[in-house]
Structure 1
Amino acid sequence: MRILVTGSAGFIGFHLSRLLLAEGHAVTGLDGFSDYYDIGLKRARHAELARHPGFEAIEGRIETPGLLRALMARTAPEIVVHLAAQAGVRYSLENPQAYADANLMGSFQLLEAVRAHPVRHLLLASTSSAYGGNTELPFRETDQAVSPLTLYAASKLAMEAMAHSYSHLFAIPTTAFRFFTVYGPWGRPDMALFLFTGKILAGEPIEVFSGGSAERDFTYVTDLVDAIRRLADVPPPLPGTGTPVGACDTLSSSAPYRLVNIGGGRPVRLDAMIAALEAALGRRAERILKPLPPGDVARTHASTELLQALIGRVPETPIGTGIPAFVDWYRGYYGV
């Protein structure tokens, strides 16, 4: 297939593109190389992908008017996976404009491009942060998500809503998926595992929020991109032409649209994650205990019923396997 991946120099976009290329697909990767974190890491990811003859790298920001429309007219993708976004919960308190530009206007430009050049399936990355102030666990896709706690979460909810309207109006088969704390090799430097590793190796203290009692549904990146790839083969049917897979299904009654969690459904305490990291590094961490920052939640826990029904599996790599794999990559990449 011909596949367009936005955010291909990002953590998840890189891993997904690599998987698609290994399967023999032609991948066009678009990335804006924002300076939110180390651009050198992003360029190293794209350089890895460029070793494959089936990869075409395009540099540009998704919010640029007409860029995506022209790119899709030229490359005629059958599948579009939209991963490009301004990420980060806490950064949205510092630079809200970046979220309006990338997550709102960028997603609008993408939807307009797909409207002009229809595809077999449009897949969109959302976030577990969209569940916001929900307190009932696990988070189910059928739960109402009307209380976002940060602009990041609000911008992703807005993207989901815009995508549903385009799916309804223009019969675009669309799947939006909510990620749960993705980690692994080539990860994002702003995330806890990456930050903790660097500080522990440098002999510096780490900041531990909520006394280490906060829980996250950690999802290993290769499990996540495997789920995306499998979901790509399951486009939602047009209204009246398909049957929901069960009571857990979010298949829209008015559009070929579905919302799916991608997580393992096994929350892990932050202090257990730190213990696994200490074991992998062979070093103890000095801790500075702090309260949860504004916008953070105490626990995330994905319901995996719908994902299991759609693709027959859920993310399964435990942190005891995933964290040592990340540490091996980190030591090799940074030479420490």
Structure 2
Amino acid sequence: MTQPLRVFITGTAGFIGFHLARLLLDEGHTVHGYDGITDYYDVRLKQRRHALLREYPAFTATEAMLEDAAALEAATRAAQPDVIVHLAAQAGVRYSLENPRAYIDANLVGTFHVLEVARALRPRHLLMASTSSVYGANTELPFGEERKTDTPLTLYAATKKANEAMAHAYAHLHGVPTTLFRFFTVYGPWGRPDMALFKFTRGILEGTPIDIYNHGEMYRDFTYVDDLVRAIRLLIDAVPSAPSERHAASGWQPLQGDTLSPVAPWRVVNIGNSDTVRLLDFVEAIEAELGKPAIRNFLPMQSGDVPATWADCSLLKRLTGYAPQTPFREGVARFVRWYREYHGV
């Protein structure tokens, strides 16, 4: 194993942060988590995730909001991280239509505070979560990182696009190597109750209707959470070089399709399964695993939603040698097993 790292992760009580922290702890690294334990969804699920992480001697945590700049600064100074992974955010595309202020506070103000502590502490690598939602009104599939992202359809997407731009400015001005990764539809054990797989499983088991938008003509690049965090872990070691380093290196050439900025140690990378799955096929996989049919409530497209997503992950493969590949039926089966165990069904 390489030298153990000190990693500071925002959002460790969240779905993805929990899985990433556990992977790093299993590898022998030290992790300090930072999470506000907000009530956007069941706080007990978040507390249970943190309780499992606290079973590792190398895990410590601060429970505070990203908007609390003093708390964040104190926590990062105490942790002295080699790497910062910023995952905490106000999530959810549809919720941004109901409570837009939450996205300004968490995703813009909170991310600004993370960038400020990175500027002060100068970790060897800052990694930040973005989203496939930044592709907005793009219709040409698959989505490659070079596609324009100037047409966001929700405030959530707009704040994440802003995060990418803010991070680029800080990387240029202050030289902190920074990687943004765009998630596609992430699913798996310990997932969020507001996500489709969780809601569909619960509805089928309870015999209540499940809402299926665009009358079922929806396609998603479903990405299994273990694949996602493995990709993040590998990207930690793929540190973007500064322009001065590139100029000094004899014969340096960029990777094909690299998004490395010409003026900053900054890049953006897709993380998806490089596949697109029809939503009704996803529902049928859940039905098969549960042995029970769904009561389907077909609805029109929701405002701010898109009919299809599909990731081009060739850059991720070139940078890390890795590409997510868990088949969605296998991932659904693992989730259903976890759901039954967690809820005692």
TM-score where L is the length of structure 2 = 0.96
Any residues of structure 2 matched to 1:40-119 within 5 Å, and which?
Answer: 40-119=44-123
Give me the whole-angstrom Cα distance separating, in 1, the residues matched to 2:197 and 2:138. Answer: 25
Give me the whole-angstrom Cα distance separating, in 2, the residues matched to 1:26 and 1:313. Answer: 24
Q: CA deviation at 1:136?
A: 1.2
Q: What amino acid sits opposite 1:279 in the alignment?
A: A
Q: Secondary structure of 2:245's partner?
A: coil
Alignment deviations for residues 78-114 of structure 1 (CA, whole Å, 9 cap, x no partner): 0000000000000000000100000000000000011
Q: Assess if the C-alpha contact under 8 Å between 2:214 and 2:302 holds in 1.
A: no
Give me the whole-angstrom Cα distance separating, in 1, the residues matched to 2:211 and 2:54. Answer: 37
Matched, 1:192 2:182: no
How many pairs align? 336
RMSD: 0.8
Q: Counterpart in 2 of 1:270? A: 279
Q: What amino acid sits opposite 2:56 in the alignment?
A: H
| Unmatched tracts of structure 1, length 5 or more | none
Q: Counterpart in 2 of 1:159? A: 163
Q: CA deviation at 1:209?
A: 0.8
Q: CA deviation at 1:46?
A: 0.3
Q: Counterpart in 1 of 2:176? A: 172
Give me the whole-angstrom Cα distance separating, in 2, the residues matched to 1:245 and 1:136. Answer: 25
Alignment deviations for residues 155-194 of structure 1 (CA, whole Å, 9 cap, x no partner): 0000110000000000010000000000000001000100
Alignment deviations for residues 47-68 of structure 1 (CA, whole Å, 9 cap, x no partner): 0100000000210001112222
Q: Counterpart in 2 of 1:241? A: 245
Any residues of structure 2 matched to 1:1-336 within 5 Å, and which?
Answer: 1-242=5-246, 243=252, 245-336=254-345
Q: What amino acid sits opposite 1:230 in the alignment?
A: L
Q: CA deviation at 1:246?
A: 3.0
Q: Secondary structure of 2:7's partner?
A: strand
Q: CA deviation at 1:241?
A: 2.3
Q: Assess if the C-alpha contact under 8 Å between 1:245 and 1:310 holds in 2.
A: no
Q: Assess if the C-alpha contact under 8 Å between 2:259 and 2:268 holds in 1.
A: yes
Q: What amino acid sits opposite 1:25 in the alignment?
A: H
Alignment deviations for residues 137-169 of structure 1 (CA, whole Å, 9 cap, x no partner): 111101110000000000000011000000000
Q: CA deviation at 1:73?
A: 1.3
TM-score where L is the length of structure 1 = 0.99
Q: Structure 1 stretches (4+) deviating beyond 6 angstroms?
A: none
Q: Secondary structure of 1:147's partner?
A: coil
